[in-house]
Amino acid sequence: MLKQLGKVIPREPESTTDAGPTSNKARSQCRTALQNPGRLGRGSMTPSRRSFVLGGSALLALAPFIGRARADAALLTSTASDRQEKLAAAAKAERSMTLYTSIAQGDVQPLVKPFEDKYGIKVTVWRASGDTVLQRVIQEQRAGRASVDAIHVSAPEMEAMAREGVFQPVASPYFADLLPGSLPDHKLWAGTLLSVWVQAYNTNLIKKDELPKSYADLLDPKWKGKLGFEFEDIDWFIAVVRQMGEEEGLKFFRQLVGTNGLSIRKGHSLLNTLVAAGEVPLALTVYNYMPVQAKAKGAPIDWFVIDSGIARANGVGVVKTAQRPNAAALFEDYMLSDAQKTLSQLNYVPTSTKVESPLGNTKILITNPADTLDFASKWEPLYQRIIVKGVSN
């Protein structure tokens, strides 16, 4: 059970509850939904049989909700100078809203309470892993229930839902402040924070001047048996391959696993702990805040980046069937403005250019969630063969 701001909300079992990248399982779920438009699985709602597109009877059931949401949502796409003032007034009149999110449990109240205090709008939060949120939205849409007003999860789930018509357009004035790559062209959702992969090393085992300065340096035999990699970081793999050029990138990773090997570990926290313990001298993929927190507690660990930090966004969007669309849109604006400083203080990397990043001037490359959905069938076999199985030919 989750006690959130005066209400107790039932929570489903969950395997992942942080703001980090979506698992391979969730990517498969998103892709399957897109490959089967207009269809929903029958019987049990298994992850591999999902789609957001409603069938005829469910769509009819939602028709009155959709009409109401559209009638009440004129301010969402307004570009008038008094849009913010009117939106705040309309949101306050709605008095409450419901948010589905995968943000870390300890970070929910620091993010939500200031919004409640500022606007007097009650936020009911239901929190689970990104793929569990994805499943719940499908189930509710299928049943014709308009239960949620805004959603905040990882970019691939957000993009999958956007393609299937879950979100409605919003013309936030804060879009202009966002980092390149954190706002999709359709603008149906917007990135609020970045999960950035960095490289971490044990400072007792590796001196700073010994760190690799390029990916090619990792092919040096001195790194044999010393490199760690998190099991599900296919997006980092894809991004690096594309940075190098596909042919050269795949050649590099085949050489890497063939000469020096990779110690594959499941769980970024585990990998970070193993670096601090000295079992894995250098990890290629941990989240940026992990070595920072461990170092602050006295662990012999630090971080750096090779070329650039690879990042994945979490985003927020207003649901098309929202019963409190103005409150939801105001919350989206808040997450892109006032909440950005809070996110930075919580060691997330904010997407607003107006807020200082915990990573300073580190160059960041944001992955495209459309690539995750559209080309997973190409990249997953390569990733499994080269990285997970360590096949070098």
Tell me the DSSP string of 290-324.
Answer: HHHHHHHTT-SEEEE-SSSEEEEEEEEEEBTT-SS
pLDDT tens readout for residues 111-148:
999 999 999 999 999 999 888 998 899 889 888 889 99
Instruction: List the domain boundaries for the chain.
Output: 2-194+314-359, 196-311+373-388
Query: In CATH, what number does 196-311+373-388 get?
Result: 3.40.190.10
Residue 20 pLDDT level (bands cut at 50, 70, 90): low
Q: Which uninterrupted H or E stretch holds 107?
A: helix 105-119
Q: Could you report the per-residue pLDDT of 278-298, keeping only the tens digit for each?
A: 999 999 999 998 999 999 999
Instruction: Write down the mean pLDDT value for the chain.
Output: 85
The position carrying tokens 């044990």 is 202
Q: What percent of the chain shows pLDDT beyond 70?
A: 82
Is the fold of 2-194+314-359 the same as that of 196-311+373-388?
yes
Residue 133 burial class via C-beta count within 10 angstroms: exposed 0-12, middle 13-18, buried 19 and up? buried
Q: How confident is the model at residue 225 (pLDDT cuts 50, 70, 90)?
A: very high
Report d(CA 285, CA 287) in Å as an integer: 7
| Selection from 266, 299, 287 nearest residue 387 by Cα | 266
Regarding beta strands 190-202 and 122-127, do their DSSP bridges make them parallel or antiparallel, or are they unpaired?
A: unpaired
DSSP structural state of residue 122: E
Judge: domain 2-194+314-359, CATH 3.10.580.10: no
b/e 194-228 (16+ beta carbons within 10 angstroms → b): bbbbbbbbbbeebeeeeebeebeebbeeebeebbb
The pLDDT tens digits for 177-191 are: 999 999 999 999 999
